[in-house]
């Protein structure tokens, strides 16, 4: 602990957020603290002690509404702009801080008891309710799964810690208990021998303890070397698997980037085409409005012309009727004058005959009432024919004839 140095210490009197705090994580880019509770996630600013953001996991059914849920781990992922949350029910949730969306990337049926990320955030380890450890990549691809407590743990098996000497190797807890029991049995046998005062004289050659120790040491060194080779092979295989997985992920990422670039180019091309079509549409709509206005003005002008022509026709009909009336009056006057002229001509002819002939005597002169023979009045009739043509685009559609007699 002497290599640890305290950089900053903050104290908050009360945490104002969702539910009861259970775990926390620090966002290095903003300096805020993410607090996981039995109801959701709360982001706090430790300097102002104000709540920056709150995300409820109850509404999305990730945590129960009665508050019995638990968040067993929370980790800020700046590279992914997300926050990873693990719940006791077994859900692994990613919260995107950019668009405030929740995504369940996986689930464990037996539930989770803990979550831990590597310092470089390339690996994540989950502990399950069945006492197993699951190691995954940052993309949540499983690497391996082992049990925490194995059945044969400590039964004559060595556990290598690091790459040190034989002294750095230790047995499991059961191995230590077995060695302790063995020592207790030896002590009991020695006590029994001492109580019985049994003296054993050995007339044999003492064994070479140095050679035996050397042989035991050689066996232990061979076993340690074997364990080291097996461990190294295991780590190399895991490293190879991780390298292959990283290569596949890089290839998939490169393909995704290419597809994204191609999609972006297609979107830009379609956007440009849409903008061009929109401009063409606006131009055509403007032309259509102009044509509608022009046709409307022309139609109004034609309607005005039709109204003017109808008014002219009405005036011409009135004037024609007036002329016909005047003509009829003049014709009647002419006929009356013709009759009067004929009467005067007959009178003049009779007067000339009387003057040219012998003068009659008054005795033979007889008077009689001369009556003018009324000749029948000449009747003149006026006949007017009106033809009406209905045309369209220069073609005659219909023709009507109207005759007027006076």
* Out of 110-119, 328-337, 347-356, least confident range: 347-356
Instruction: Read off the pLDDT of residues 17-29 as tens digits, 9 standing for 90 and up.
Output: 566 788 888 887 7
Residue of 177 and 305 predicted with greater confidence: 305
Mean pLDDT of the chain: 76
pLDDT band, residue 194 (cuts 50/70/90): low
CA distance 160 to 164: 8
pLDDT over 50 (residue 226): yes
Which of 34-43, 165-174, 232-241, 258-267 comes out lowest in average pLDDT?
Answer: 165-174
Enumerate long-range contacts of 334-341, CB under 8 Å, 24 or more apart.
335/377, 335/378, 335/380, 338/378, 339/375, 339/377
What pLDDT is stored for residue 145 in this prediction? 84
Sheet holding 112-117, edge to edge: 112-117, 123-128, 132-137, 142-147
* Mean pLDDT across 102-122: 88
Q: How confident is the model at residue 400 (pLDDT cuts 50, 70, 90)?
A: confident
The CATH number of 21-147, from 3.30.930.10, 3.40.920.10, 2.130.10.10, 3.40.50.300, is 2.130.10.10
Residue scoring higher pLDDT (234 or 69): 234
* Residue 3: predicted pLDDT: 57
Which residues are bridge partners to 133 per DSSP?
127, 146
| Span 281-304, average pLDDT | 93
Here the tokens at position 165 are 């000497």
- The mean pLDDT value for 99-117 works out to 88
283 pLDDT higher than 90: yes
Sign of the dihedral defined by the CA atoms of residues 87, 123, 228, 226, in that order: positive
DSSP string, 186-251: HHHHHHHHHHHT------SPPP-HHHHHHHHHHHHHHHHHHHHHHHHHHHHHHHHHHHHHHHHHHH
pTM: 0.37
Whether 378 shows a pLDDT value over 70: the answer reads no
Residues 55 and 95 sit within 8 Å (Cβ to Cβ): yes
Assign 377 a pLDDT band (cuts: 50, 70, 90): very low
Output 114 or 403, whichever has higher pLDDT. Answer: 114
Q: What is the mean pLDDT of residues 178-196?
A: 65
d(CA 350, CA 343): 11
Query: How far is it, in rounded angstroms, from Cα 333 to Cα 335?
Result: 5
Domain ranges of the chain: 21-147
Quote the CA–CA distance of 335 and 373 in Å, as a whole number: 17
Quickly count helices (H) and strands (E) in the chain: 2, 14
Q: How confident is the model at residue 6 (pLDDT cuts 50, 70, 90)?
A: low
């Amino acid at each position: 602990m002497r290599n640890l140095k305290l950089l900053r210490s903050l104290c908050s009197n009360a945490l104002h957020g969702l539910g009861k705090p259970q775990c926390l994580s620090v966002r290095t880019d903003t300096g805020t603290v993410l607090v996981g509770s039995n109801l959701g996630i709360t982001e706090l600013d430790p300097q102002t002690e104000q709540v920056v953001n709150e995300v409820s996991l109850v509404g999305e059914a990730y945590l129960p509404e009665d508050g019995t849920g638990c968040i067993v781990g929370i980790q800020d992922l700046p590279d992914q702009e997300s926050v990873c949350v693990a719940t006791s029910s077994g859900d692994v949730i990613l919260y995107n801080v950019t668009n405030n969306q929740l995504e369940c990337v996986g689930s464990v049926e037996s539930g989770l008891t803990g979550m831990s990320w590597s310092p470089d955030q390339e690996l994540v380890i989950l502990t399950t309710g069945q006492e197993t450890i699951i190691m995954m990549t940052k993309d949540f691809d499983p690497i391996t799964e082992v049990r925490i407590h194995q059945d044969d743990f400590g039964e004559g098996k060595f556990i290598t810690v690091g790459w040190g000497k034989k002294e750095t190797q230790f047995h499991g807890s059961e191995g230590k208990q077995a060695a302790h029991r063995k020592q207790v049995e030896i002590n009991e046998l020695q006590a029994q021998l001492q109580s019985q005062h049994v003296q054993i004289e050995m007339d044999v050659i003492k064994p070479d303890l140095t050679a035996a120790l050397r042989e035991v040491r050689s066996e232990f060194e061979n076993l340690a070397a074997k364990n080291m080779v097996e461990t190294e092979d295991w780590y190399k295989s895991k490293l190879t698997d991780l390298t292959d997985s990283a290569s596949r992920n890089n290839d998939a990422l490169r393909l995704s980037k290419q597809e994204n670039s191609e999609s972006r180019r297609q979107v830009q091309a379609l956007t440009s085409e849409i903008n061009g079509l929109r401009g063409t549409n606006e131009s055509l709509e403007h032309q259509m409005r102009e044509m509608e206005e022009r046709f409307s003005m022309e139609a109004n002008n034609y309607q005005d012309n039709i109204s003017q022509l109808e008014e002219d026709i009405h005036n011409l009909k009135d004037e024609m009727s007036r002329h016909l009336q005047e003509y009829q009056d003049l014709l009647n006057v002419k006929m009356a004058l013709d009759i009067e002229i004929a009467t005067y001509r007959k009178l003049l002819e009779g007067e000339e005959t009387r003057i040219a002939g012998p003068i009659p005597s008054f005795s033979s002169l007889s008077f009689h009432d001369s009556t003018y023979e009324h000749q029948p009045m000449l009747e003149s009739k006026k006949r007017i024919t009106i033809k009406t043509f209905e045309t369209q685009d220069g073609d005659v559609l219909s023709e009507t004839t109207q005759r007027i007699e006076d």
